[in-house]
Chains A and B, each alone.
Chain A
Amino acid sequence: MTLGSIFESAAIDAALRNTPFAGQMHFFPSIHSTNTHAMAAGEHGAPHGSVFFADEQTAGRGRSSHQWQSPAGCGIYASILLRPTIAPGDALWFSLAAGLAAQDAIAQVTTLKTDLRWPNDLMLGKRKFGGILTEMNAEATRIRYLVIGIGINVLHPAFSPDLAPIATSLLIETGLPWSRQEILIALLQSLHRETSALSDPATSDAGQSSILDRVEAMSTWVRGRRVRVDEGEGFTGVTEGLDARGFLRVRTAQGLRTVFSGGVRDF
């Protein structure tokens, strides 16, 4: 069966046969938001490893109700549902791991060296080409389900004037029509590697430590960068690495602050 004109179901399943995603890829020619759909599917019992992806999103979204422009034929819009048996607090590692997985997938397929803006924005220079929004439904001590939503601008030919200064795509950067299917497969393989390491008690400590090291190595934002953080009233300072939990530390005039969730921008 062919999914749309671009994604081939049998080839994707075959490439993912050693992952929980094989046989669980759900494609939509058009959907409001793959994350909204995946969260609802989680509530209705969708199994671990379900992936919901679309050629077009009509209401793609990011953090703080930001929209994610998701025109048909241009991007990867995928939401991955997991039911990891880890403590809810440890789910934050999945957020960092997803950024590394996406960066690794892009490198494998395109050889592009991309940047990570904490916690997991995918950047080429000063412009963003990929974003990740993770949503979780958890009890106090147990994750019921977790949805990692990933949007990657692959074939967008251009952006509107308001977005052009801050958004880009792989096509704009390289002039080449990269295969969304190849990137999607590489992404899911990488994500499987990362999340497996974090989910297995025997390897989770090493997995966490490896993530801290790799984010430090793969991101120009983590150290020595002058930033503005829109957390609370907002503040500015210079980034000073990650703490043991993966939170970004920023040296401000008033002392060292820990960034939980704020958007981090150049200042």
Chain B
Amino acid sequence: MNPEELEQLKELIEFLKENQIGEFALERGDLKVSVKFGGEQTAQPGMDVASLARLLAMQSPAGAVAPPVHVPVPSVAPQMHASAEVSSSAEASEEADLHIVKSPIVGTFYESPSPGASAFVKIGDRVENGQVLCIVEAMKLMNEIESDAAGEVVKRLVQNGQPVEYGQPLFALKKV
């Protein structure tokens, strides 16, 4: 974890604190983050999803090999009893081959061409370079996101209907 990522993590924790989110987990490429606050915080439905989406855009560089690290949480109020653990995946060497497909625009992620239709791709599918993986929509502009590599879909990094930011990782492919 480099200093920039540490900064992002601090920002994320601040955000979770501000919005009184009790528990949070993120798995992105070879980066895994789980944060759990003590106390009785509950999620506020009105939190700014755009801010959350921006924070979720953070990621570790593909293929980074680092031992699990415990990150102190410097800015959490003592009464929150916060703790955060960040660890790199144990399969880091294997995941070095992963290719991350990112969103070229801001918008809402859709896994299928229309509600109720089957998803463009599912985990385990082999996809070709240029194959449509999903749609990101904003302002009634539907953006077909194509795979920019051939490989097997091993992870979908966002939920159907979730807002995504520019550059946010959407899928992890294992190159074949």
> Chain A residues in contact with chain B, CB under 8 A?
63-65, 88-89, 91-92, 94-96, 119-120, 132-141, 231-233, 235, 245-247, 252-258, 260-262
Contacts and interface: CB of A to CB of B under 8 A. Distances in A.
Contact of B161 (A232, A246, A256): A232
B148 A140 contact: yes
A256 B51 CA distance: 11
25 contacts: A65-B117, A88-B143, A92-B105, A95-B140, A119-B140, A120-B139, A120-B140, A133-B142, A134-B139, A134-B141, A135-B142, A137-B146, A139-B104, A139-B148, A140-B104, A140-B148, A232-B161, A252-B46, A254-B44, A255-B46, A255-B48, A260-B107, A260-B137, A260-B139, A260-B163
A261 B161 CA distance: 10
Contacts, number: 105
B71 interface: no
Chief secondary structure at chain A's binding surface:
mixed
B141 A92 contact: yes
Given A132-B140, A140-B148, A254-B45, 16 more contacts: A89-B105, A91-B141, A119-B139, A133-B140, A135-B143, A136-B143, A138-B143, A141-B104, A235-B45, A252-B46, A254-B46, A255-B48, A256-B48, A257-B48, A260-B139, A261-B137
B46 A245 contact: no
Given A231-B108, A245-B106, A254-B47, A136 B144 contact: yes
B20 to A, nearest CB: 12
A120 B138 CA distance: 12
A89 B106 contact: yes
Bin chain B's interface residue count. 20 to 34
B115 interface: yes
A88 B45 CA distance: 31
